[in-house]
Structure 1
Amino acid sequence: MQRFALIGAGFIGSVHAANLAANPHVDFALVYDVDQRRAEQLADLHGARAATDLDQTFDPDQVDAVFIASSTHTHAENLRRAADAGVAALCEKPIDLDLAHAVDVVGYATERNARAMVNFNRRFDRDYVELRRVVDSGEIGEVELIQLTSRGPAMPPLSYIEVSGGQMRDQTVHFFDLARWIAGVDPVEVFATGSTLAEPRLADYGDVDTSAVVLRLPTGALVQIDSTRRTGYGYDERVEVLGSTGLVEARRQRAGAVSRYTAGRVVDDGLHAGWFERVRPTYGAALAHFVTALENDQVIAPSLDDGLKAQAIAEAATRSLATGKSEPITYPTMQAYPSSRRI
């Protein structure tokens, strides 16, 4: 049993709390939040205890791992504290909105042999796992074009946009990670363009709500990613990989599989109402991978290195939005870090 402390009792923290409580290999020990009452309510709901201060969550006598689901600006410091305490860490993205700071923290954690994972949970989507298996098997030949879609369903509040880092760093970054993971290589160049069609006020934050991104892989293959903050038809997410001899796709998922046939028409169930309904199962699957890796001393992925690389692509894409030009992708220097292993 891995003893876990959860840091953060907001919406995403409540999702992780339910998965921690449901995992048979987890002893869900502690919940901490800056709002003590909120921590107590979540802890009571799942049979855990509310930590009275943050120090408790890093006490190796009480916990083996922490799940960092606190506000974005606290991720780096909490990861650093976990490394100091010698407890493992599962951290929501990003490590830090400032890439240079994130690199420093990853270096710090790596020097202390920290066991850590960045929660790019879409890698654990059942369909995407199968799609990647097909790509790796060579069934469709050499990868030539990858198409990823992330659409809607509704604009987040402007208060969220203000601290999110922008569409490239907040929304599309998940698909930068998926592109690397599926292709098995790191993109070398990015071009991004975008507009404010759903919410013109985003321009005040230097952000967009509708974007198209093209990544160039070192093989010459291309990746296209379209992202929107708002649709009129539900949450739409899908991946397609065109190879030299075939194609594999993970199609958009409907909320149900019932079709209604009447004279002259067929009515099918629509898409999921929101992104969370679509990806809900991936959170539990990501946690299960992390716990299994800890118990069996296996390689953990997505690693901190993976988190930095996805963020480096997002930084270059954000620059491209501003310059209107293709931008080279500069990855953090990793000489001091262990070599990444593809799993």
Structure 2
Amino acid sequence: MTLTVGIIGAGRIGKLHVDHLRVIPQIRVKSVSDVEIRHLKEWAKEKQIEVLTNDYHDLLKDPEIKAVFICSPTNTHATIIKEAALAGKHIFCEKPVSFSVEETEEAIKVVEKAGVKLQVGFNRRFDPNFRKIRELVQDGTIGKPHILRITSRDPEPPSIEYVQSSGGLFMDMTIHDFDMARYIMDSEVVEVFANGAVLVDQAIGEAGDIDTAIVTLKFANGALGVIDNSRQAVYGYDQRLEIFGDKGAAQADNKRANQVEVSTAEHVSKEKPLYFFLERYTQAYIDEVKEFVAAILENKPIVCSGFDGLQAERIARAAKKSLETGVPVKLEQVGETAIV
């Protein structure tokens, strides 16, 4: 069976998905849309894209296309999700679904009513090491979870133009960690307390954002979590995780070009972490699209659903409110009007 798909948005992530989808035998990448296509013509020809258009509605109207990948700017996601669902297309949407809890809830309702599948692009769930940590929690190896610690630091800050349209550190960057916290712990976050600072680039502060943060979480199962973020780790992309329980602990360390550690009389050394997310999470990106395809072709449940996307957004909104007020915020407060 062949699944014909279309890609909406041909930026870095859209092109990445094209590359990964093209190596899956059951997939035909027929169409790509982007608001500006002149610079994409040679690329599309090289990737054997049959249709290149500047209007994503062309994809939604195409009866051959059964699923779309939404890789356009975040402020377009919710609208396109609803239109795609009404057109009967299955949907893979990059995170976040929207900058508004209400918009995300509305999009999910349309998807559910249409009876199509929606997967949100939290690729870290598909990282083999993080999946192993989850398994160790699930099978009781580390016992009852007590503490979850997540370190997530970028190698360099994004452009100020990106910062201004990103939705802020919590919605753009930490949202991956919020989803990872729920995924590893298999328990909902019930309370968030956030501290933040501008320590990397003052221009980020002038744009109304922070570049350094510590967030503490309380889970419904009684466990605690802590996330530390920075927009600049000079040694590379720092992605580590530890779960501690009453029977032990498990850690997932950084990926490196090789895992060799050299010890001499002068020093102990090993390679620096891989530099950026495209290197660090290559396998995770491949596996997430494979599982989305399998969910459609084999009618399996989606691994990372619209509800998962909604919950991560709610935690991000709670973190922002906590940062602004200086007090912990309960997730039950993040409703239709509580946080705007």
TM-score normalised by the shorter chain: which range applies?
A: over 0.9
Q: Are 2:6 and 2:65, in contact at CA under 8 Å, matched by a contact in 1?
A: yes
Distance 1:332 1:260 in 2: 49
Distance 1:164 1:321 in 2: 17
Displacement of 1:331 in angstroms is 7.7
Displacement of 1:260 in angstroms is 4.7
Q: Are 2:86 and 2:110, in contact at CA under 8 Å, matched by a contact in 1?
A: no
Distance 1:331 1:51 in 2: 44
Q: Are 1:60 and 1:87, in contact at CA under 8 Å, matched by a contact in 2?
A: no
Distance 2:208 2:193 in 1: 17
Distance 2:188 2:224 in 1: 11
| Helix, strand or coil at the partner of 1:219 | coil
User: CA separation of 1:184/1:260 partners in 2, compared to 1, >3 Å: closer, same or farther?
Assistant: closer
Q: Are 2:218 and 2:224, in contact at CA under 8 Å, matched by a contact in 1?
A: yes
| Helix, strand or coil at the partner of 1:285 | helix
User: CA separation of 1:185/1:258 partners in 2, compared to 1, >3 Å: closer, same or farther?
Assistant: closer
- Number of the residue aligned with 2:313: 311
User: CA separation of 1:315/1:50 partners in 2, compared to 1, >3 Å: closer, same or farther?
Assistant: same
Question: Which deviates further from its counterpart, 255-264 or 307-316?
Answer: 255-264
Distance 1:271 1:116 in 2: 33
Question: Which deviates further from its counterpart, 34-43 or 220-229?
Answer: 34-43
- Number of the residue aligned with 2:126: 124
User: CA separation of 1:331/1:129 partners in 2, compared to 1, >3 Å: closer, same or farther?
Assistant: farther
Distance 1:332 1:323 in 2: 14
User: CA separation of 1:36/1:212 partners in 2, compared to 1, >3 Å: closer, same or farther?
Assistant: same
- Which whole-Å deviations, capped at 9, do the CAs of 1:63-83 have from their partners, x for residues lacking one? 110011111111111111110
Unaligned runs of 5+ in 1: 334-343
- Aligned sequence identity (%): 35
Displacement of 1:258 in angstroms is 3.8
- Which whole-Å deviations, capped at 9, do the CAs of 1:60-103 have from their partners, x for residues lacking one? 52211001111111111111111011010100011111221121
Alignment of 1:150 onto 2:152: yes
- Number of the residue aligned with 1:240: 242
| Helix, strand or coil at the partner of 1:41 | helix
- Which whole-Å deviations, capped at 9, do the CAs of 1:153-207 have from their partners, x for residues lacking one? 1010000000101111000000100111111111100000011000122223331
Distance 2:235 2:18 in 1: 30
Distance 1:40 1:33 in 2: 11
Distance 2:262 2:216 in 1: 39
Displacement of 1:115 in angstroms is 1.0
Q: Are 2:197 and 2:212, in contact at CA under 8 Å, matched by a contact in 1?
A: yes
Q: TM-score with structure 1 length normalisation? A: 0.93
| Helix, strand or coil at the partner of 2:221 | coil
- Which whole-Å deviations, capped at 9, do the CAs of 1:288-311 have from their partners, x for residues lacking one? 000011111010121001100110
Distance 1:164 1:179 in 2: 21
| Helix, strand or coil at the partner of 1:95 | coil
Alignment of 1:214 onto 2:209: no
2:56 is matched by which residue type in structure 1?
L
Question: Which deviates further from its counterpart, 101-110 or 316-325?
Answer: 101-110
Question: Which deviates further from its counterpart, 218-227 or 201-210?
Answer: 201-210
1:234 is matched by which residue type in structure 2?
G
Displacement of 1:235 in angstroms is 0.7
Pick one of 181, 185, 190 that aligns with 2:187.
185
Displacement of 1:332 in angstroms is 7.4
Displacement of 1:108 in angstroms is 1.7
Question: Which deviates further from its counterpart, 112-121 or 153-162?
Answer: 112-121
Q: Are 2:317 and 2:334, in contact at CA under 8 Å, matched by a contact in 1?
A: no
Distance 1:82 1:38 in 2: 26
Displacement of 1:43 in angstroms is 2.0
- Which whole-Å deviations, capped at 9, do the CAs of 1:86-136 have from their partners, x for residues lacking one? 010100011111221121111122121121100101000000111101110
- Number of the residue aligned with 1:110: 112
1:114 is matched by which residue type in structure 2?
V
2:21 is matched by which residue type in structure 1?
L
Unaligned runs of 5+ in 2: 336-340
- Which whole-Å deviations, capped at 9, do the CAs of 1:22-67 have from their partners, x for residues lacking one? 1112111111111122443332121112333322211352211001
Displacement of 1:255 in angstroms is 2.2
Displacement of 1:148 in angstroms is 0.5
Alignment of 1:230 onto 2:228: no
